[in-house]
Structure 1
Amino acid sequence: MRGHAALLVVAGLTAVSGCGTTANPIAESPSAPAATSAAPPPPASEPASAAPRPSVTGPDAPMLLGQRRLVIRPAEAGESILAVDDTGRLNLTDGPTDKGLFVLVPQGARHQIRTATGDQACLGLKNNGSRPLTIAATQCDPARDGQLFTIQPPASGDPATYTISVSGAYLLVSRTNGVIAEEPGDATALTAFVLVDNGPV
């Protein structure tokens, strides 16, 4: 009986010693600290929903993201606004019209200018031969360069205004020719435009 008990004690000590040998490599394994470092850090900023709302006239304005209807008004033209006339041309109007609302649809860094009433059309550059370039409503085609407008604050002047250009030609208000598109020269005075919010699309 004593011999049998001694064998049991020796076997027990061997089992305990074996468990200790197996546990040590796990405790010293380099992968153990990695589990702690891999834990995601607490968020460093507020949720997106708590971010400040975009400014009305800044580059992230809802009007520049296709979310709002708008009126385009030359900054120095009093109450006149841009509208599509009965011939389909973009021109100035002083009276009430249902063809003066537009939506700016982002296309990369540029925009399509789509009509916001009636049949949806897009403004596009029109070549008139020897006469000045004009802008006219046409079928929307985002692959057409003449429909992709660059809308940006002017290099100087009121930051709440924008210059509008397409294919290198800027929209200008001419006393003799109305709204035209022209490549700027040394003496060209660019027309600045104000975007007037008219509610959600």
Structure 2
Amino acid sequence: MSMRRWLAGAGVVALVVSTGACGDATPDAAATPEATGTPAASATSAAPTPTEASPSPTSANPPVLSGDRQVTITRVDAVESGLSLTDERLAEVDGDEGRQLFVATPVEGQTFLIKSYRGAGGGPGTGEPVCWQVQNPGNSQPLVVQGAECQESEQRQLFTIAPNPENAETYLISNNSAYLRNTRNNGLIMEELGDAAPFDSFRFNDNGAAPSS
């Protein structure tokens, strides 16, 4: 028996060419957030609130000129005598007559009423005060100081009490440019000095709390 070899070589090679469809991969556009420009907050400094101008400090009156203390008054060059408001006029005395206790009551700035009280030797109790007042006696006589009912509206009662430029612990006393001074023939008078320097200055000596009346 002949063997036939049938060489059946049917090799069908199915070459399947797989064509991969290569599509361009378009990447998704990255969603870039819209750049929102936030305007820089401008530094707005609050406008300064205008403050009320503070009054310039003023020098307070010393205690003897506060109206709360009573004083005796002596002329710097006097020897063992002090001022007293007698029934007639302001004079220098070395006894206990008249009103020798005084209260400088502020009116405005260096302007004062000078109230006069009786001391222990000048009558019972202090009584109601009377105020210094410039008087013109007439007959070409110099101006003097007498007692009168206290009235702040009376210009002749408004005395300027200012520190002596040569000695701050003593004071010059004047009224309407006339200064209190001592004279040999007329005692204490008020005199206009013009350009001349004041002749007399005075010490205010603390004598305790002022009377309440």
Instruction: Output the TM-score relative to the length of structure 1.
Output: 0.67
- Work out the CA distance in 1 between the residues paired with 2:77 and 2:70: 21
What CA distance in whole angstroms lies between the structure 2 residues aligned with 1:108 and 1:188? 24
Indicate the residue corresponding to 1:141 in structure 2.
151
Residue type at the aligned position of 1:102: F
Q: CA deviation at 1:97?
A: 3.5
Q: Using the alignment, how far apart are the partners of 1:59 and 1:174 within structure 2? A: 33
Please provide the CA RMSD for this pair: 2.5
Mapped partners of 1:101, 1:126: distance in 2: 21
8 Å Cα contact 2:179-2:198 kept in structure 1: no
Per-residue CA deviations over 1:6-49 (Å, capped at 9, x if unaligned) read: xxxxxxxxxxxxxxxxxxxxxx9x9xx98xx99xxxxxxxxxxx
Q: How does 1:14-163 map to 2 (within 5 A)?
A: 60-87=61-88, 89-97=89-97, 99-109=99-109, 110-116=111-117, 117-129=126-138, 130-155=140-165, 157-163=166-172
Q: Is the 8 A contact 1:163 1:190 kept in 2?
A: no
Structure 2, unaligned runs of 5 or more: 1-40, 50-58, 118-125
Structure index of larger Rg: 2
Please say if residues 130 and 147 of structure 2, whose CA atoms lie closer than 8 Å, have aligned partners that are also in contact: yes
Q: How many residues align?
A: 150
Q: 1:86 offset after TM fit, Å?
A: 2.9
Contact map agreement 1:63 1:69 (CA 8 A) in 2: yes
Name the CA distance, whole Å, in 1 between partners of 2:198 and 2:162.
16
Superposition misfits of 4+ residues, deviation over 6 angstroms? none
| Deviation (angstroms), 1:112 | 0.2
> Equivalents in 1 of 2:186, 2:127: separation in Å?
27
Q: Which amino acid aligns with 1:86?
A: D
* Residue of structure 2 equivalent to 1:166: 175
Deviates more, 1:92-101 or 1:163-172: 92-101
Distance in 1 between the 2:60 and 2:97 partners?
A: 28
Q: Distance in 1 between the 2:108 and 2:80 partners?
A: 32
Matches within 5 A, 1:175-190: 175-186=184-195, 189-190=198-199
Task: State the secondary structure of the residue aligned to 1:63.
Answer: helix
CA deviation digits over 1:88-118, x for unaligned, max 9? x111101123511000000012000001333
1:153 is paired with a residue whose SS is strand
Select 1:195's aligned residue among 204, 207, 212.
204
Q: Provide the C-alpha distance between the structure 2 equivalents of 1:59 and 1:159, rounded to a whole number of angstroms.
A: 14
Counterparts of 2:91 and 2:194, CA distance in 1: 22
Mapped partners of 2:194, 2:154: distance in 1: 25
Q: Which has the higher helix share?
A: 1
Structure 2 SS opposite 1:146: helix
Identity %: 37
Structure 2: how far apart are the matches of 1:128 and 1:188? 25
SS of corresponding position for 2:164: coil
The C-alpha deviation readout for 1:150-199, integer Å capped at 9, x for no partner, is: 001123x2211100001111001112101100001455652110000000
TM-score in terms of structure 2 length: 0.64
Q: Say whether the 8 Å CA contact 1:184–1:190 is kept in structure 2.
A: no
